Every structure is written in C-alpha cells, then in structure tokens.
Structure 1
Amino acid sequence: TIAASQSYQKGVDTEARWTKKGHNLYYGYKRHVLVESKEGLVLAVSTTKASSHDGGHLPILLDKVSLKAESRLYADKGYSGFPNETLLKNKKLKSAIQKKGSRNHPLSPAAKRFNKLVSKTRYKVERVFGSIKRWFRSAGARYIGLDKTHTQHVMEAIAYNLYKAPNIILKGL
C-alpha cells in the first residue's frame, strides 16, 4: 500500500492563506478592529486568514461589544453590502459604511460625497494600524498559527490603548 502524506516544511504556517492587494501578494492573516470614534481606542479585535473577505467579520466584532442604540458605525468599502446593512438595522445602529461601486455601475456623485464625509472620521481606524506598525514594529505576524497571531493582535491593541491613555486622561482634566 502507498500512503499519501502531506508535505510539511518547518516554519511554514499551514493555517495562513494568500491574498492579493493591488498587484502584491501577501501570505498570512488579517486584523479586523472595532475602534470608537471619539478617542480612537480599540474596542474589539478579530483575526482571520488573509484570504477571507472583510464583510463577513462585522458580526463577530459587534458581538464582542455592547454599543448604544443609534450609534453610528463607520467602515470601509470591504464591509459594504446588504447583510451588514441589515445587521446594523437589527442592532439599531446607524450605518456609515462607505459605498462601493461595481463594474458598469460607478458611484454617483452623492455616494462619492458620502464616502468623503465618512473618511473624515474613519481615518481613526487606519491610524490604529499605522500606529501599531510604527510604535511596536508590528508589520506582520510574529507567531505561527491563527490563535497565537490573534493573541499578538489583542496584545498590540491593549498596548495601543495604554499608550494613548495618558493623553486622553490629560485632555479630560
């Protein structure tokens, strides 16, 4: 009998996946964060394989926190779509998810204005990613495996919040 075996190369993360962003290929994981819009603190973190689509992870983030009714949720185009809009209505949250054009259906001028208005608040999420990368030299996963990488992302979010806390406290005085 011949037994088939999986090839395994030491140091290669078998849980990670490939994704393409623009013309570049990336191997690893995605970090999804829920950030409050006033001070930019991280409220929730989710880690997924790089190949997973952003849109399906909004429910996971929302289940980790308790947001007040009528709160506005800002998100990029990756989270646009009917399922997430319905989810927000069911949770009594206001949607500020950027609009996304599609092939042969470009964005209307009103949708472009909406996206520009949303981006004036949504930049705080992108600032989290940039700050974590700059402050903690975290350009990628330091560990092998989804669970360990998620723990890394959570610890970086905690460190980010702690790093910002003194300035927030001083503003309140």
Structure 2
Amino acid sequence: MTEDSTGPLAPATAVLINAIKLHSDVVGNPQHEPTDAMRAVNDLRKAMDGYAETVFDISGWGNPFNEVDRNSHQSRKKRSKKTPKKAEGSVTVEAVYRLRVKDEGAALRLVESRTRLRGQSLSEDMSASAVDIVTELFRLDAWDPFNYPDEIIAVVDQEWTCSSG
C-alpha cells in the first residue's frame, strides 16, 4: 500500500502514518518538550486504535496491533525484578478483551448511572471516548464485560491464560 492509496483504509492509514511521523520528529529531537512527547505518544496510540477500528469495521479482522505491548521491554524487565516472589499456590490470570462500544451515548449513560449508584463521581479527566468509557466501567465494576448489553458494548474477542506462580 502506498501513502496515496485510495482504498477504504486510506484515511485511517494516512492518520496513522502522520502520527508515526510526528512521533518520530518529536522524540527524535533531543530538545523536545516532555509534554510534546506525551502528546505524540497519545496521538500515535489513538491513531493505532482508530486504524484497528477501521480494519474491524471494513473487514471484520481483529486488531493488527493486538500483540504489540504498549509498555517497553525494559520497563517490563524492571517491573519483574521488583515483583516479590510468588507464594506457594498462587495463580496468575491474564485476560485480554477486545470490545466494541456500539452506542457511546448509551454507554456514557451506563457509566453515569453506575457512578451514581455507587455514590461516586466521574473522573475529572474522563471524556466520552470509548476508551474512557470502558476504563471507567472497569474501575466501577471490577470488570465483567459480559455484564453489559450487547447492543451497547460487545465483546468482539477474548483471550486469557492461567498459570501457577
């Protein structure tokens, strides 16, 4: 695919390419401001998510970045060194869900009602984006994505592992 492609993925591809270029320009400049770097990182993540959504909408294929770890290998190594030794009989469960917020308005109302029921308030920096809605539901409900009406939030894919240690 070339940069000037006119296929159905072209707009999302162009946004992704521009986000990669901006990220490269900002973090490749030793004089960059940290806020500019964070903005470039967030823009790149949004572009990746937008591209993945477009791929799914057009083709039904899953997220091409699904296996991309959003944390660096180095930070994982540092975290693992700090992790205390696991107790006998401990179990590690890792779950990954790919969700689709089908109705952001209804999902936002769901967040608002669950927040009120718990006597809590919404996070000040929460937007009406699908990511913020799902994050807030995770925070509020201790997370079971199958608890939500499929016409509002659908589980597209899931994978999980369970291991000792």
What's the TM-score once normalised by structure 1's chain length?
A: 0.23
More helix by share: 2
Larger % of strand: which? 1
